[in-house]
Amino acid sequence: MLDLWYKNAVIYCLDVDSFFDSDGDGIGDFRGLADHLDHIEALGATCIWVLPFYPSPNCDNGYDIADYYGVDPRYGSLGEFVDFIQAAKDRGLRVIVDLVVNHSSIDHPWFQASRADPTGRYGDWYVWSKEKPADADKGMVFPGVQKTTWTYDRKRQEYYFHRFYDHQPDLNIANPAVREEIQRIMGFWLALGVSGFRIDAAPFILEDLKKIHGADPHAYLAELQHFLSWREAEAMLLAEANITMEEAADYFGSGDRLHVIFNFPLNQKLFLAFAREDATPVRDFLKALPELPMVGQWATFLRNHDEIDLGRLAPDEKAEVFAAFGPDKAMQLYDRGLRRRLAPMLGGDERRIAMAFSLMLALPGTPVIWYGDEIGMGENMALPERDPVRIPMQWHPRGHGGFSAAEPAKWVRAPIPDGPFAHPFVNAEAQRTDPNSLFSTIQRLIRIRRSCREIGWAEAEVVETEDPATLALLSEWRGGSVLTLHNLSDRPVMIDIGASVGEGRAAHDLLRQNGELRRAEDGRCLLRLAPYGFEWLRIEQETDTRKG
């Protein structure tokens, strides 16, 4: 039986260049990351997702890769990467890395060879056209910034396709040699100790494959998993795939394709629910979740390294979320998303931030945390496009916050200069020693979540409540039952959990360990949730302490 470790994992996502700078050049590196793994271990995460660290011109946060087999010198050496992997392993932490194969950098030797010699080895490693397609102004990922998906190359005298920026030409996945090289890339990093891959832009890979090759593109996912399981049986594939629930079966297959997929539609419903202080959008969405194969899993999240994509919401719903969390046009991006961090969007209210984290951890799937959100870091809106949420980690209240010994003018990205989210007020050092801090609250929640394996393995049952502001979820697996309750509003609410507890059973408070919540004589079992309050309860056979 395979160890499906990701079912009960808690993933912590970070950018190496923003975590800790060990050599004073203003850029985070693997040595600094390895030296600060104690923070991630103390939080309770079990896996680290490292954003691209490969050699790159860095025109798109490292997603424009110039060498798939190396480490960008700014972050250290390949040897220091291996040291980091070993340090993580010593702490029981797994590591997954980005597999960015929809496109490469325009500077990659493959592309340079392809444009120089159309009939050579790399001539058809990219997608070329002698004529500019009629739909070249459609399907752009970055509207308002990107103007086309086809750009003319003067050297080859043809147009090349790029779903993203013009410095990121799309690889020709239909070419068997390209697919073989992708397996070689995977095998290389698996040999160095990674536990899997986050596949960047998975739907675009498949879309391009179908457009070029005409076959069922989802079969390629089975090809990737087959190779992965052959090389490292317990490694997993986590896909960035903003898909509808109707498409889920194509991506998961019978368990022979992807292991985990980010649940982007659920994330959008979450922010709609937060904006309304009404759980109905999330409740209705969870009721319609499709059944997954045993090895399949959703990944749940609040924030990630990109914008919060609201593109699947109705226009009036998107307008609601913008009005609540990004009313200024500068806070919005690509006409579809928010370029803000969680804490400032929720007004810095730690009750509400903690509730959001608790809810994310209670949702069916594997939770993914964006670095810094565990201490309530803010954003620097002066930075361009997606960079406001990628600011350097705030380690302590002294000096410039502890990310680097260099002056902030030399840092990879400018920190928050002042205000309530600046490092004197929001930093890891102060919160790790304060039992009432946001970090300590999330730490406790993660500890409880990891002990409640039912949530990672079971399909959550939505329990009906009378108040629309509340969400109650019951997860049952192998005889265990966990009930989570969340109040999304700024007013107290009462919930009768008697029906969920059932006859002859009692609810044990997992958060405060105050003993059993007992049923009243009329059968009700009332629970009061404070404004933005939440509870985690284990349902077990009732014990009678009066006997004996």
Q: Do 66 and 29 meet the contact criterion of CB atoms below 8 Å apart?
A: no
Catalytic amino acids?
200, 240
Element (H, E) at 274: helix 264-276
Would you call 280 exposed, middle or buried from its count of C-beta atoms within 10 A (0-12, 13-18, 19+)? middle
CA 486, CA 316: separation in Å to the nearest integer? 25
Task: Name the DSSP class of 464.
Answer: P
Encoded amino acid at 205, one letter = I
Q: Determine if residue 61 is left, alpha or beta; phi over 0 gives left, psi from -120 to 50 gives alpha, anything else beta.
A: left
Token readout for 379 is 């954003």
Torsion of CA 56, 62, 64, 66, to 10 degrees: 30
Q: Determine if residue 263 is left, alpha or beta; phi over 0 gives left, psi from -120 to 50 gives alpha, anything else beta.
A: beta
CA 376, CA 355: separation in Å to the nearest integer? 13
- Residues composing the chain: 548
Sheet holding 308-309, edge to edge: 308-309, 337-338, 332-333
CB atoms within 10 A of CB 144: 10
Would you call 259 exposed, middle or buried from its count of C-beta atoms within 10 A (0-12, 13-18, 19+)? buried
Residue 482's nearest CA partner among 318, 352, 362, 316 is 362
Query: Hey, is 485 helix, strand or coil?
Result: strand
Sheet holding 128-129, edge to edge: 128-129, 158-161, 150-153
Question: 3-state SS of 317-378?
Answer: HHHHHHHHHCCCHHHEECCCEECCCHHHHCCCCHHHHHHHHHHHHHCCCEEEEECCHHHCCC
Token readout for 77 is 């050496």
CA 254, CA 296: separation in Å to the nearest integer? 9
Q: Do 302 and 270 meet the contact criterion of CB atoms below 8 Å apart?
A: yes
Backbone angles phi, psi at 383, to 5 degrees: -80, 155
Q: Do 279 and 486 meet the contact criterion of CB atoms below 8 Å apart?
A: yes
Encoded amino acid at 187, one letter = G
Give the max Cα distance, the chain. Answer: 90
Query: Hey, is 244 helix, strand or coil?
Result: coil
